[in-house]
Amino acid sequence: MDFDDQLRRYFATDDLMSVTPDVLASGIEHMRVDFGLAQDGERRFALWAMLHMFGAAPDLDVAFDNEEDRNSARNLMELLERAAPE
């Protein structure tokens, strides 16, 4: 799953700076629907990660059935937090 491909899929561009608030909201909603329908664990995780970056991810206990996936998501959140500019 290529990040730029996903940006084009959900926001019709790979330049997030050009996305209007309405397009952003629509793309996030589309991601949430796809997340809910996804059966593949890797795809679900990738969609959850994108939703997390947009502040729209479901809680871990709702998003993931098993503890291993929840721990992976926690690890990603910690990595992103450490990488964020202060």
Per-residue pLDDT of the chain (86 residues; tens, 9 = 90+): 688 899 999 999 989 999 999 999 999 999 999 999 999 999 999 999 999 999 999 999 999 999 999 999 999 999 999 998 87
Q: Are 1 and 46 in contact (CB under 8 A)?
A: yes
Return the pLDDT at 86. Answer: 74
Output the pTM of the full model: 0.90
Domain region containing 57: 3-83
Return the pLDDT at 51. Answer: 97
Return the pLDDT at 1. Answer: 66
Domains in the chain, number:
1
